[in-house]
């Protein structure tokens, strides 16, 4: 997921995106545990996507608070 795509979303959209990414990451971890995951690099990329989305979410939330 690109940062430009994430920055276009509002706070609610980002929260939904974070939840979806966390659910996908959990599924990948379960696949790895049962040795069904072929490409383990997807774990790293989803973990970084989650961090990227959370960072932008915090930025937007703090911008909203300072605007009030």
Residues 6+ apart with CB under 8 A from 10: 60
Range of the domain at 24: 3-63
Nearest-10 Cα torsion for 21, 28, 52, 10: -10
According to the model, what pLDDT value does residue 68 have? 74
CATH number at residue 54: 1.10.287
Does residue 37 form part of some domain? yes
Q: Are 44 and 32 in contact, with CB atoms under 8 Å apart? A: no
Does residue 58 form part of some domain? yes
* Total domain count, the chain: 1
Residues 6+ apart with CB under 8 A from 1: 17, 21, 49, 52, 53
Does residue 25 form part of some domain? yes
Does residue 68 form part of some domain? no
Does residue 42 form part of some domain? yes
pTM of this structure: 0.91
Does residue 54 form part of some domain? yes
The pLDDT averaged over each successive group of 10 residues in the chain (68 residues) is: 90 96 97 95 97 96 87
């Amino acid at each position: 997921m690109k940062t430009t795509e994430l920055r276009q979303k509002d706070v609610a959209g980002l929260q939904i995106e974070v939840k979806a990414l966390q659910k996908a990451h959990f599924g990948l971890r379960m696949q790895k545990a049962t040795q069904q995951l072929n490409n383990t690099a997807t774990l790293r990329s989803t973990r970084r996507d989650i961090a990227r989305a959370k960072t932008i979410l915090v930025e937007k939330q703090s911008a909203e608070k300072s605007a009030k």
